[in-house]
A and B are shown apart, each in its own frame.
Chain A
Amino acid sequence: MRLPKVFRTSVEYIRRHKWLSFTSLLVMTLTFFLTSIFVAAAFGSSKILKELEARPQITAYFKDDASEQEILAVKAELEATGLTSSVTYVSKEEALTIFMGLSQEDPALLEGISSNVLPASLEVKAVNLSDLHKLAEILEPEPLLEDLQFYKDVVEKFRRLTDAARLLGFGLVGVLSLISILIVLVTIGMTIASRGEEIEIMRLVGASDWQIRGPFLMQGALLGIVSALISVTLTFLLLPILIPYISGALVGIHLPTVSPVFLVGLFVGEAGFGALVGSVGSWIAVRKYLRV
């Protein structure tokens, strides 16, 4: 059977079983949509985590009267331990530039601010996270030190949060996928069961298994692909609305935008999965009637 004919016939099958097709489509679309959202969330949170991890793990703020030479001496002392992967000196002026960059949209905060208000600091990264405490011990007795901030704790907390969310999300997607696979299988099974007699007749007039199976498989695959398309489109429309809300809550973190590559990848994955479920389901359902 040539492809256009198979395609034509399968579209005919879908049209003549509108409700069953619609049910399959709806269930698959919902599952795919939730999957898309979770995948996007997992993708986004891992980007955020990466960004957080790239930040200095300890920031040491120095008192206003600490001179640059004194701070650089501390920096040299830290580097001498061999435990740091980088130590960056941020002067008062640089701190102001950074602050102004972050607060651009809030001019009220910028009024009356000068470089004197902000402290100079050292941003320290350790080669091994476990060495952070040793580095902190060197810094803590320093009389010029104003404050010490561990980002490690923040990162850890966020990591645990995203891990939990991811686990929950994947669990949910897993369960939903299973449910949707079952519903799709049952739906396809019902469609084909109502046509068991027809399949037997096709055999009796000399149709080969593939001539019978083809349109059913194509029908299943088509429903899978169409539902993937709908769900990815929904995701594409919805994410740009959601992202500003999330970035509002996370100041200073650059949220990844929804890239076309991501959406295409998502579509390919879901369409492949949908086509597979649809066609395998049809295969199994048809097989029962091909014995004649």
Chain B
Amino acid sequence: MIKFEDITKEYNNLVALSNINLEIKGGEFLFLVGPSGAGKTTLLKLLIREELPSAGEIYYDSWEVSKLPYKELPQLRREIGVVFQDFKLLPQKTALENVSFVLDVIGKAFEEQEELAPEILKLVDLEKQRDHFPHQLSGGEKQRLAIARALAAEPKVLIADEPTGMIDPASAWNVINLLRKINDLGATVIMSTHNVGIVDTLKRRVVELDQGKIVRDQKEGEYAAS
């Protein structure tokens, strides 16, 4: 379903990723681990073409992502939901509008948006904050809103970049359970994390990056190499 072939990404001669080869099958739950600056976020950015690779090819289904025409990008991005590390919430829209915007983007009718958006907010326990703007939300609330928004589009692939970075352990488990539920429903989940407990408990595929290279790819792996 997703395939990185010989992917290299350089920023002004600084190598962020080099010769990445990685295949992810539909329905997988994959943890991306490794120290800060290892290239996890860059890898995820390449998949939705927020960035272009310096060399190599990325396939999503039959699409070659780096060669996708500008007009077809929205289609790709509707299939791949992202919980961004920096949230990327729409600052001028309320929590509810952030969610209904995505519903609108994927073509849900207005009545459906009105009905679904509050339900999705409830899922991440934000129904009381529905009329708050992002700047009025705490770090954890923003993170939960970012997750709610990514879920709203019912994506085939869900990318979560450090989705538990700013929330307390109990909430973190709520988030993970949500991601597992989505995975159970058939979506592919790719999650980058520093949370040792979660990775070790879930025992899913673990891909470890270090200095732009894949140093470990393990089925039912743990956070640290054993």
Contacts and interface: CB of A to CB of B under 8 A. Distances in A.
Contacts of A13: 92
Given A5-B110, A206-B102, A211-B105, A201 B74 contact: no
Query: Is chain A's interface secondary structure helix, strand, loop, or mixed overall?
Result: helix
B101 to A, nearest CB: 7
Given A1-B104, A2-B110, A204-B77, A198 B92 contact: yes
B202 to A, nearest CB: 27
Instruction: Report the contact-size class of chain B (Cβ under 8 Å from the partner).
Output: 20 to 34
Nearest to B106: A206
Contacts of B32: none
A205 B92 contact: no
Contact of A205 (B71, B75, B153): B153
Interface string B49-81: 010000000000000000000010111111000
A208 B110 contact: no
Contacts, number: 56
B82 A205 contact: yes
Contacts of B25: none
Contacts of B169: none
21 contacts: A1-B104, A2-B110, A5-B104, A195-B92, A198-B90, A201-B88, A202-B90, A203-B74, A204-B50, A204-B77, A204-B82, A205-B77, A205-B102, A205-B149, A206-B74, A206-B78, A206-B105, A206-B106, A207-B101, A208-B105, A211-B74
Instruction: Please give me the 9 A-B residue pairs with the lowest Cβ-Cβ distance, nearest first.
Output: A206-B77, A206-B78, A208-B74, A201-B88, A207-B105, A206-B74, A198-B90, A206-B105, A205-B102
Interface of A: 1-2, 4-5, 13, 16, 195, 197-198, 201-208, 211, 292
